[in-house]
Amino acid sequence: MGAADVIYYTFHLLELRSIVQWKIWHHPVHEREKDKESVSLKVCFDFLDQTSRSFSAVIQELHPELLIPVALFYLILRGLDTIEDDMTIPIEKKDPVLRDFHTIIEKEGWSFNGNGPDEKDRELLVQFHYVTEEYRKIKPVYRKIINEITRKMGAGMADYCKKAAEGKVGVETVEEYDEYCYYVAGLVGNGLTQLFVESELANPALNERPQLQKSMGLFLQKTNIIRDIREDRDDKRRFWPREIWSKYVDNFEDLFNPAHQEAALNCSSEMVLNSLNHADECLFYLAGLKEQSVFNFAAIPQSMAIATLALVFRNPDIFKKNVKMTKGTACQTMLDSTQNLSKVCQVFRKFVQQIRKKNTAKDPNFLQISIACGKVEQFIETIFPSQNAESAVRQKPPETEAEKKERLEARWDIIYMLIFVMGVLLIMSLLMIGVAWYVGARFDLVFTEVSEGNWRSLGKDHARKMAQKYDRGEL
């Protein structure tokens, strides 16, 4: 934690408390049995940590029945995505690899070293034989699911890359945008659902609701596309559909011009609206997950997505840099998402209300965004009806000893955090003063001048006079 973080959390103690709670008091539902893992499986988990720490953490807390299949599923799709994203691979070489990736993963000893030297996950493909080795060990039913999703995703990615190679830059229509998001994320939701149901850790009815599975993936992917617009633009990629941005600016680059900021914000509002329309179906899907670790695995990314959506809504910074939520907000969101559906609904309601609060009548999407927010809140209300103030006071039971104890502990937690932060600042200040004294700072002279009433005139000129006054000529 740097100096800037110390200063920030000095004034945001509740966020600091959330970080401490997550680090100290979060206990995984399940833990890996590392001593029973093969060498190749340990390598796979090392790559999982390297490619995505956030996803790695929730994957490694999954039920033992799903831990390895889901981890390998993620690495296989990450390998596929790494090939698709690499602009240094010519389409003649990229297309067949993407389309045949589902057969390649069945081969023993396959690896790929055709990525550019700067590709972040290049090493995963160089040592991909470890992934395929473990993939061949999992249950045939899980292999079949992973293979089929890989086949569909590879074909979809290849089609998109072929269009890009033919000179078609960016996504044109909202329909094409949905199709792209389905191939890179919606199919993942479909595959994970099949794994959840096959392992008997989710309601089989979820397999009969493909729209819910699709929404789980599209909500995440669309939110990431909104957040990453600056990064994608710098990489010469465009995922915001022309059908949307052309309503607000003549050229895509105008979105990044401060002179068109209001138009850019209105455009981003419609993108947020497009993503927000999936939120209620995500909550519906989460209601069908029976096992706690599976629920946590699915709920955390969705909660982080709605929090990110609130962060990027009408936020001009997304056109200047990659915007991220603070670590304290992320930890609090994860804490609230690892309990039950009621808590997750509270998370969604909180951030939807933030979007509603930031919504402005000047935005041409004002009414539709208000309706979308109301739709999410209404869905939550149908599952967990709220009480009005009068009935809540009338029906509220007296506070139990446990609740009173928890309330007092929360209050003392904040006090302890404040003491800790002030202590750190005091120690750092004393260390800095001590170092200054050790290298020759004359604090006695400053004290003398201040005691003589000269503190108002301290400056460069006065410093020279002090130097002449106390110069003894030893040097």
Alpha carbons 142 and 208: distance in angstroms, whole number: 18
Active-site annotation holder among 45, 73, 297, 313: 297
Instruction: State the virtual CA torsion across 127, 131, 136, 137 in degrees, nearest 10.
Output: 120
From the CB of residue 7, how many other CB atoms can be counted at a distance below 10 Å? 12
DSSP 51-68: H-HHHHHHHTTS-HHHHH
DSSP one-letter code for 202: B
Enumerate the H helices of 313-388 as residue ranges: 327-336, 341-358, 366-383
32 annotated active-site = no
Alpha carbons 138 and 197: distance in angstroms, whole number: 16
Distances (CA, A) of 471 to 18, 137, 286: 54, 81, 76
Cβ pair 267, 255 in contact under 8 A: yes
Reported as half-sphere exposure (CB side, CA atoms, 13 A), residue 210 has a value of 3
Active-site annotation holder among 99, 136, 151, 237: 237
Alpha carbons 136 and 149: distance in angstroms, whole number: 16
- DSSP 3-state of 289: strand
Active-site annotation holder among 78, 227, 314, 349: 227
Cβ pair 88, 116 in contact under 8 A: yes
Residue identified by tokens 């052309």 is 246
Alpha carbons 393 and 395: distance in angstroms, whole number: 6
Active-site annotation holder among 180, 182, 239, 351: 180
297 annotated active-site = yes
180 annotated active-site = yes
Residue identified by tokens 């569909």 is 152
Active centre residues (catalytic): 180, 227, 237, 297
